[in-house]
Homo-oligomer: A and B are copies of this chain.
């Protein structure tokens, strides 16, 4: 059985006082659990695609491949894609679920209101990376633990960023459109197709994904820049071959290509508004596989229409699923997709294994790997502060 909210709140007061042994006890207590738990997973539905790949575990039907394991241990496991509005399936289970597993691809928006209703809730697991769909401050205030499967799809996202950079710089999509629609007009593509070689690429954020991207960019002989809160270790910086730019607004006008690699936080929400986009080089290419809300939606669409942005490749939107009339679907020179970059089959297998491992630890009352915590004992991980 889980601790009551009152007990958690009381312990939190001690925990945040910095008393390490007690804090450790608190953590174990939070995870300790006897008896059956109600676990709810919110994933995208696969329908006819579910049976097409035995490793397709990330969908409702695949249910991360942990149903048999959970049920054989006496836990209840509800899986749904129905996550919006007062009458959705998720809402029905909010009052008595203990664990909620969600993903960034089909995000279950865990608002303060839902947290308030979820009297038994202890643990919020993000199958993937990025927990901005959860009101982290509300979760912290309620004494909940939020954790991700850190690293499970960093390579997947970095590869996809490389893809989108190339798609934009080479002007690939109009070419493909010609091919499949019976046309042939090389000039219509070539007049704005470039090599990546020799161009300046700047990543805004050089955490796990940003570094993997920089490593993959190295043999392309670009001029690599990065902006981050922290300068890398000189040895790593040299190995990666990227130059630190302390001032974001000083880096932007140098870049032919800008890649967004930061989490969505109160500080980064709307960071790329009209004014900041205007600071970029005319015709800049922007890749954003981080979070849609880091950009001002209309400012991006306007800049694509004016040519200030020469191409925008993004895998992320707000909200998700994106409505049919979202302007990013129809702006010129976009390389948009639904949120797919972190849910390759390989990524699914990794984050499914990670969820199982963390549930196992939760049932045993063990700590998670330190880097997986987003909210622990009332505190947000540094990248969300």
A residues at B contact (CB < 8 Å): 44-47, 49-50, 52-53, 56, 58-59, 105-106, 155-156, 159-160, 162-163, 166-167, 170-173, 175-176, 178-198, 215-216, 218-221, 320-322, 324, 328-330, 334-341, 343-348
Contact = CB atoms under 8 A, between A and B. Distances in A.
A190 B324 CA distance: 20
B197 A159 contact: yes
Contact of A106 (B179, B186, B348): B186
B334 A196 contact: no
Contacts of A335: 176
A317 to B, nearest CB: 9
Given A195-B159, A344-B194, A186 B44 contact: yes
A254 B216 CA distance: 24
Contacts of A188: 49
A190 B179 CA distance: 24
B338 A191 contact: no
Contacts of A190: 44, 49, 56, 58-59, 105, 340, 343-345, 348
Given A219-B219, A343-B190, A179 B337 contact: yes
26 contacts: A46-B187, A47-B187, A49-B190, A52-B191, A52-B192, A56-B191, A59-B187, A155-B197, A159-B195, A159-B197, A166-B166, A172-B337, A175-B337, A175-B338, A176-B335, A176-B336, A179-B322, A179-B337, A183-B338, A189-B338, A190-B348, A191-B345, A194-B345, A195-B346, A198-B346, A219-B219
Contacts of A197: 155, 159, 346
A179 B49 contact: no
Which of A167, A324, A328, A344 counts the most chain B CB atoms within 10 A? A344
Contacts of A328: 179
A340 B170 CA distance: 9
A172 to B, nearest CB: 6
A321 to B, nearest CB: 4
A344 to B, nearest CB: 5
A171 B106 CA distance: 19
B219 A344 contact: no
Contacts of A218: 219
Contacts of A219: 215-216, 218-219
Nearest to A217: B219
Which of A49, A186, A215, A218 counts the most chain B CB atoms within 10 A? A186
Which of A156, A173, A175, A215 counts the most chain B CB atoms within 10 A? A175
Contacts of A320: 184
Contact of A337 (B166, B178, B196): B178
A44 B191 CA distance: 12
A159 to B, nearest CB: 5
Which of A162, A191, A218, A328 counts the most chain B CB atoms within 10 A? A191
Given A56-B191, A193-B345, A216-B219, A173 B176 contact: yes
Given A155-B197, A191-B56, A195-B155, A178 B346 contact: no
B338 A184 contact: yes
A47 B155 CA distance: 42
Contacts of A215: 219
A209 B180 CA distance: 26
